[in-house]
Structure 1
Amino acid sequence: MRRAKKLVGAAMAAMLLTGVTACSGEAKDEGVIDVWIGFTDYRLDWAKERAAEFVKKHPDYKINVEGYDTYETLFDALTAATQQGKPPTIVQNFEAATQESRDAVNADGDPLFVSVEKAIDGRDEILGEPVVLDDIVEAASSYYTVDGEFSSMPWNTSTPIFYSNSEFLEAADIEPPQTWEELTEACDAIMKLKDAPKSCISWPNHAWFPEQVLAEQGGLLANADNGRSDRATEVDMTSPEWLSWIDWWKELNDKGHYYYSGVQEDWDGPKNAFGGQQVAFLMTSSGDATAVVGDAEKTGFDVEVSMLPRFADKDYHGNLIGGATLWLVDGLETKTQDGALAFMQFLNNPENAADWHKTTGYIPITNAAVELLEKEGWYDERPYHKVATDQLAQTDGSPAATGVLLGSFVAIRAEVTQAIEEILTDGADPADRFAKAQENAQKLLDDYNALYVG
């Protein structure tokens, strides 16, 4: 899961409102594939290396991979390029913007993006690259299958997992907590240590985390089965399932056990606090597993990685995915579209999917990649890399655990993080503050749906 700003939704909304045309303007040369992704670090390097390998196999094609610092800047650029009739070929978009991507239209009222499953059209291979769509792991397959069809091509998929500093566990004579109640007890024990850390635990103030615990309990964020059986028209942030964990979070914060960096959607602050041994526990994306464990080893301590805790007295339904998929722009020449589809399959073939997992910590996206890693003994030496896959495999397949499809989801998430900040820093009452947040979120959803309904 990566940082996603409110303006991402604004950029996409601008695209929807202006009715920009994906296919107008100067035609792109056949076989030129422009890929825009929201990475500028080692993950961009990895993608460029795979693109070079693909072109070596398919010399009739040219692939340009361009990285952006955030999804916000990526979609600002996408909006401008599409308005000029020069969109890229493939665009990475994170899971929360799935509904907006599906709704984006060109000036003719046709979808800006074409479903990858529709474009593949039942083929087993494209340009000699085996199609892997049917082998995508269940959690990602369920999320991105909408109206019975894969909307986009999964690539970087994550889920939040739990990281423990082994030194603090040993000093307090405790195991990694498996429930939220055990986490409270663990923090009480650790903060009583002679050499206690500054705080017990940290995680980003991001809506993804309360969404996770809502899903664990089988709660829904939106009506129409979380937007799965029909377009979602109502959002709910006042349910007992939602508020129970917000109340727990506030109590942990009031005790001084939770470290808040003071910045909404800050992924680096909590991770740095854990790496600097200022906190004993960290909750963050499995996509950061390689970095979190590697940084700890450099500092000189071991990390135990486990599944996200659950409420002890509630039935467990599953945890949600994060990350992003690759969307295919509609209206491409046949050669270009086939090349783009083949490149998507190449990125996710067993060897590449396994290497992507090793490099980043994102889950191996296909079952074949999981099997390859197991055969290689990768998990025997690095069991922490298997935690995310095992966690997602426990989902019960319900709408709650599959994840919500929601218009203006990015802006709605911003309402959540603002409410949480006021609860943590100003002492706002969770029930009262989220009643207000729900009003704001409902207006955002109503305004969004007004573009498509009625």
Structure 2
Amino acid sequence: MYTIFLLCILLISTFSLLGGKGKSDKEKRELRFWHSIGTYNKDVLNSLIENYNDHNRQVLIKGVFQGSDKDLYLKLISPETRPDIVQISVQFLPALVEKNELVDLTSSIPSKLKEDIEDKFWSSVSYRDRIYGIPFLYSVNLLFVNQHILRIAGVRRDTTPASWPEILSISEKIKDNLGDKWPLFIPMESMMHFLSFVQSYTGEPAIRDGKILINTDKSIDAMQFLRDLVFKERTMPAKLSIDEGENLFLSGNLGIIAASSSLLVYTESNLPYDMNVWYLPSSAATLPFITGSCLAILKSSPREKRESIRFIEYLTDYENAIKWHTHTGNPAIRKSVKSSLDLIVFYEDNPNHMASINEIERGLIFNPSSGYLEVSEVLGKALEAIMLKGEDPAIILNSAQKELDDLNLRF
């Protein structure tokens, strides 16, 4: 009898616990978070979201990958169901503000956070002196180098080459000594790929007095040089996507690849050989371009503003800012993190991470006031004609410059 009584008590307790848990889950308000953090760093984001949900009784964050930055932006301005929180490229922020899509966060930012991030990052998420996003992930372009390929090709080089002709010389040595390996791959799919490479090659600013100049003599020479790597020198593979180039590098069949610092940890962890990092060649007249994204709140759900801000603060807090840097390669932007003992110790074992920190310190964030999508489409067509079809850079860039001039945009 006593045993039966105990069993009844146990069953009642079990059902009570299960019922309570189910009720708690149903009571949680769901916040949709759209992002463009894909294959390479999705595990970091997913683990952070899972941890937040485990420790938050009020809301359930549902992260949804929406493809590229452009794909995400186009979905945001469509009439479809939209998110509460969004990770958006800072290049698209002005257009979203002009469409009255984003919540003004100026008065919601804690003074401690405001002071811990440099002004240039706040400027990248501001429009007409109002702040519409919290600076999140920023990156720079670097050169990833397979040291094993360089060694067996007879190249002894630990420091960054001073010029692109020097890089070509290294590439030719790899080609001559290792016929089964590709020496070099410079992706050229986007506006930022173009601007970073051309500015690096020419040693001149690609944007002057608020205008993008793509058809200067030096810019044309730069694209002629790059086109010849594919169609003349045969030191760079043709018609390769960024992901295909990354896979070629990870397979040990590519010597040097230009890549975003956001791919550093993934690449270094999956390459079965020693990897070095070089800066893009530069001059005193130019600053490296920085690309970035911010976390913003959609106006469609103002009731959830407080909970949305809490989640954003969590993703960007001290501990997670360190994790984003050490687990992805995106350089830290918080002053308190950059000067922390945690990172000083980390750099001793991971010196390649210093490259992105150094570049972002002196770099310039590309944040056009408007018209990014239009300019990007013009340049995208031009790059396809030059790099995929092998057409004359002078003809293509002169034509594209006329299209850009007709847009009459200021940057």
**Shorter-chain TM-score: which interval?**
0.7 to 0.9
- Within 5 Å, give how 1:141-156 maps onto structure 2: 141-156=122-137
Q: Does structure 1 residue 189 correspond to structure 2 residue 158?
A: no
In structure 2, distance between residues paired with 1:137 and 1:179: 31
- Asked whether the 8 Å contact 1:349–1:369 carries over to 2, the reply is no
Could you list the per-position Cα deviations for residues 221-267 of structure 1 after superposition, in whole angstroms to 9, with x for gaps in the alignment? Answer: 4x6x43xxxxxxx643223453342233133334434424415xx21
- Within 5 Å, give how 1:23-422 maps onto structure 2: 32-41=30-39, 43-80=41-78, 83=79, 87-104=82-99, 111-116=100-105, 118-120=106-108, 123-124=110-111, 132-137=113-118, 140-170=121-151, 171-175=153-157, 176-193=160-177, 195-206=178-189, 207-215=191-199, 217-221=203-207, 225-226=209-210, 235-240=212-217, 242-263=219-240, 266-297=241-272, 301-310=273-282, 314-330=283-299, 332-333=301-302, 336-372=304-340, 374-375=342-343, 377-395=345-363, 401-405=364-368, 407-422=370-385
In structure 2, distance between residues paired with 1:439 and 1:261: 27
In structure 2, distance between residues paired with 1:433 and 1:196: 32
- Which runs of 5 or more structure 1 residues have no equivalent in the other structure? 1-28, 105-110, 125-130, 227-233, 396-400, 450-454
What letter is aligned with 1:419? A
TM-score under structure 1 normalisation?
Answer: 0.74
What letter is aligned with 1:173? V
Aligned residue for 1:114, secondary structure, equals coil
| CA RMSD between the two structures | 3.0
In structure 1, distance between residues paired with 2:119 and 2:352: 20
Aligned residue for 1:377, secondary structure, equals helix
Between stretches 38-47 and 429-438, larger displacement belongs to 38-47
In structure 2, distance between residues paired with 1:386 and 1:37: 27
TM-score under structure 2 normalisation?
Answer: 0.81
What number of residue pairs does the alignment pair up?
378
Aligned residue for 1:59, secondary structure, equals coil
Identity of aligned residues (%): 17
What letter is aligned with 1:248? F
Aligned partner of 1:26 in structure 2 is none
In structure 1, distance between residues paired with 2:124 and 2:175: 39
Inter-CA distance 344–261: structure 2 relative to 1 (3 Å threshold): farther
What letter is aligned with 1:379? Y
Q: Tell me how far 1:142 sits from its aligned partner.
A: 4.5
What letter is aligned with 1:365? I
What letter is aligned with 1:155? F
What letter is aligned with 1:347? L
What letter is aligned with 2:193? F
In structure 2, distance between residues paired with 1:77 and 1:146: 22
